[in-house]
Structure 1
Amino acid sequence: MSSDPQAPHFLKKIVSREDAPRRLAALPRPIVFTNGVFDVLHRGHATYLAHARALGGSLVVALNTDASARRLGKGPDRPLNNEEDRAVMMAALESVSLVTWFDEDTPLELITELRPDLLVKGGDYDMDTLAETAVVKAYGGKAQAIPFVDGYSTTALVKKIRAAPGGR
């Protein structure tokens, strides 16, 4: 992302979708894959990502692009942080090995390209109903839901901020 020699080392974790397969090949296996918007990082995200990373040798996080995130219906002004800022915050986390993006509504095509060993999603997903699960299982991978940390949600946090005096 940056060619500045003074840039933080973790920025090297951020890769374009085109470079992701090559970079993924060099990561320790098994490769765990998760995805999401990760708009405003909070304790729930950090706990979820650490749990996901503990399930394998590397954790790949695929972020929804800004356009993809807007199509999720979280609100016209979401995401609050743009995709590059979200990628930097994600890459700064010790648990994250690689960060890339996808512009589609789901990461199905990216998962097909990268072929991770394990697909993980938050506990609100029924893994058996996801097309991504079928793809991962078809090539011998696994899929698993990770429980949420109760009480943490970016959408709830945004509502709380907006409800506060001076919020918009």
Structure 2
Amino acid sequence: MTARDKIRKTEDLADLCESLHGRGRRIVFTNGCFDLLHVGHLRYLEAARELGDHLVVGVNSDASVQQIKGSLRPITVESERVEMVAALHCVDYVTLFATPDPLPLIKLLKPDVLVKGADWAIDRIVGASEVLSWGGEIARIPLVPESSTTRIIDRILKRFGEKGVISE
């Protein structure tokens, strides 16, 4: 199986999740931009996967990332971000979503566990009330200190900002 085999259209993923639920499988859902993939992303997704049988990840589209992070983001285009997330051993399925938040996707997939970083207060987690309403759980996973896309960008700018692009 290639990483691309794990990438599903939302409608197909909804049917798949319904089938998995019918077989008693526990579905874990999380979402994010996953712009410059780093160890914090990996450890977060590994911890999320431990909470159920299948980890489904929603990745924000380029337009959605721009709405959230500003016009300079994302650094990596959506097709590459989706494939990189799908390539991780702990991820079972990935889908792209274009809305500013994943609520429509959460309502469609009906995960058993909704996961966000511990930096999110439970009352700010989009979809939390919906997941709880159908008997699901909310999990908040600690972040890896010093690990973020913003820190990577800052480090690159400090090291190479005035020097321009390094020849490959």
Match of 2:3 among 3, 10, 19: 10
* Alignment partners' CA distance in 1, 2:7 and 2:63: 19
Greater alpha carbon shift after TM alignment, 54-63 vs 129-138: 129-138
Question: Is the contact made by 2:25 and 2:53 (CA closer than 8 Å) also made in structure 1?
Answer: yes
SS at 2:127 equivalent: helix
Match of 2:87 in 1: 92
RMSD over equivalenced CA pairs, Å: 1.6
**Does residue 120 of the first structure (1) align with residue 115 of the second (2)?**
yes
TM-score (norm 1): 0.89
CA distance in 2, matches of 1:41, 1:120: 18
How many equivalent pairs are there? Answer: 160
Letter aligned with residue 56 of structure 2: V
* Per-residue deviation, 1:29: 1.9
- Equivalents in 2 of 1:26, 1:50: separation in Å? 23
Which residue is 2:101 aligned to?
106
For structure 2, which runs of at least 5 residues remain unmatched after alignment?
Answer: none
> Residues of 1 paired with 2:126 and 2:87: CA distance?
30
Structure 1 or 2: larger helix share?
Answer: 2
Give the TM-score normalised by the residue count of structure 2.
Answer: 0.89
Determine the C-alpha separation between the residues in 2 that align with 1:129 and 1:78: 23
Unmatched runs of 5 consecutive residues or more in structure 1: 1-7
Give % identity. Answer: 43
Cα deviation for residue 9 of structure 1 reads: 2.1
CA distance, structure 1, for counterparts of residue 164 and residue 110 of structure 2: 43
Q: 2:43 aligns with which of 47, 61, 64?
A: 47
Cα separation, 2, equivalents of 1:86 and 1:107: 17
Q: 1:120 to 1:167 in 2, by over 3 A?
A: farther
